[in-house]
Amino acid sequence: MTEILHLAEALLPEGFARNVKLTVAEGVITAVETDTAPGAGRSFKGLALPGMPNLHSHAFQRGMAGLSEGRGAPEDSFWTWREVMYRFLDRLDPEDVQAIAAQAFVEMLEGGFTALAEFHYLHHDKDGRAYANIARMAEAIAAAAEEAGLGLTLLPVLYRFGNFGQAPSVHGQRRFVNDRDAYLRLLEGSAAAIRSLPDARLGVAPHSLRAVALDDLGWVASLRPDDPVHIHVAEQVPEVEASLKITGKRPVELLMDTIPLDRRWCLIHATHLSDAERDGIARSGAVAGLCPITESSLGDGIFDGVRFHAAGGALGVGSDSNIQIDAGAELRQLEYSQRLRDRRRALFAEEKASTGLALWQAACAGGAQACGRAIGRIAPGCRADFITLETEHPAIVGKSGAEALDSAIFAANALPLRDVVVGGRRVVAEGRHVARDSVRARFAGVMRRLLAAA
């Protein structure tokens, strides 16, 4: 089916344009014309931007957002947070995960994300046994993405060990752990789970250098040679210290010495880098998968985004723990982290150019690469995934182009959205997801039950 969509103003790869006419067939843009008169077809007011890919999430963690803000003793860190996470997920059934994921995915769409790379590591039942279908949890994620209408790249995670040096996994990790044979079955089941989704992609993900053996890295990457490979790396200083102690190398150094990084790879966090590691990632073409809100929440540290970006490094953003979900807020936090460190302003922008525009375009390009899908641009050959900003919103009114985009990111509490379109289908209208009420009601029921049992 071919359809015509008219956009009042849109950010195209070559810049902002007015009166843009998109021809869309089977969810894909086949032609883009500018300065056209509105005619037959659906019209969209406001400023249209390519939808932001969310390159990293653990959907179930939406259900524990806010539960770990009390201080542990004697001090709180990523590692105490991880204990809260392990206890929360002890209670989750596949139906709970689907309800929580659907809520997270609706919020992603209402927050400007039109595609997701889900880093999926919660596989087994409460006792750590595989479900009859080992990919049962992957089915729950796929079903939630289908319900919400979110573009999906599913990354089933290989998790084998508890720490560096192939230490045995601990009780809290029993729902994650697979050996290689089980992982092959999981991958097969995951491929089946996403088959009915439009344009979904399957990739692979060794969880971290802590959780796999070094020779697993090349093995996992070889299983789907044309698809994305994501890994958590160098998020925490103790992780860097443990890596140095046990292997004699820093995490990213170890990774780069073990396997050739390329454009298929997405390094999640990559917070703690030497200059050589930072420039090595940039040269490799791999994406730095930044999660600025979660990294702030967990006290991880500050990624050297300015110098990485200047070295031509590819980057994108992910909502990771889903403690807060908004594409604009992730970019704002990324920029602000650099300002606080360097005590300067507008650090991602080219000279005399817009910070918001530089960030939006960089994160769309890096996010699309990390998702392994033709998304992130309003251009022929790409999925018709876009959002429109409410240009009557107080933060934007009277502005257009880059000024409007800067204001949406830096002067509104959350992205002021009108519509969100994924694969040509409108899933958010006037800022509300079409299934918001039913998804929220089911989520509320699940949360009340889970928290009452806590």
Give the nearest distance from C-beta 306 to Zn ion in angstroms: 23
- The Cα–Cα gap between 113 and 129 comes to 34
Half-sphere exposure for 284 (CA within 13 Å, toward CB): 24
Choose the catalytic residue: 320, 326, 406, 419.
320
| 269 classed as catalytic | yes
Quick check: 58 and 372 in contact, CB under 8 A?
Answer: no
Tell me which residue has its CB nearest to Zn ion.
Answer: 320
Distance of CA 329 to the CA centre of its chain: 13
C-beta of 115 vs 439, nearer to Zn ion: 115
Q: Which of 58, 123, 269, 309 is catalytic?
A: 269
Specify the residue, 250 or 269, whose C-beta has the smaller distance to Zn ion: 269
Q: How far is the CB of 144 from Zn ion (least distance, A)?
A: 18
Q: Which is nearer to Zn ion, 239 or 320 (CB)?
A: 320
Number of residues that bind Zn ion (CB under 5 A): 1
Q: Is 231 exposed, middle or buried (0-12, 13-18, 19+ CB in 10 A)?
A: buried
Binding mask 309-338 for Zn ion (x = CB under 5 A): -----------x------------------
Strands (E), 342-452: 386-389, 417-422, 425-429, 432-433
What's the distance, CA 297 to chain centroid?
16
Q: Where are the beta strands (DSSP E) in 28-112?
A: 28-33, 42-50, 52-57
Cβ 338 to Zn ion shortest distance, Å: 21
**In contact, 446 and 452? CB cutoff 8 Å:** no
Give the HSE-up count for residue 187: Cα atoms under 13 Å, Cβ half-sphere: 20
Q: Are strands 386-389 and 417-422 parallel, antiparallel or unpaired?
A: antiparallel
For Zn ion, give the closer residue by CB, 304 or 320: 320
Q: Do the beta carbons of residue 399 and residue 407 sit within 8 Å?
A: yes
Give least dist CB 229 to Zn ion, A. 15
Question: Least distance to Zn ion from the beta carbon of 317, Å?
Answer: 12
Tell me if residue 279 is catalytic.
Answer: no
Question: Three-class SS of residue 368?
Answer: helix
Identify which of residues 110 and 320 has a Cβ nearer to Zn ion in the complex: 320
Contacts with Zn ion, residue ranges (CB under 5 A): 320
Catalytic residue positions?
269, 320
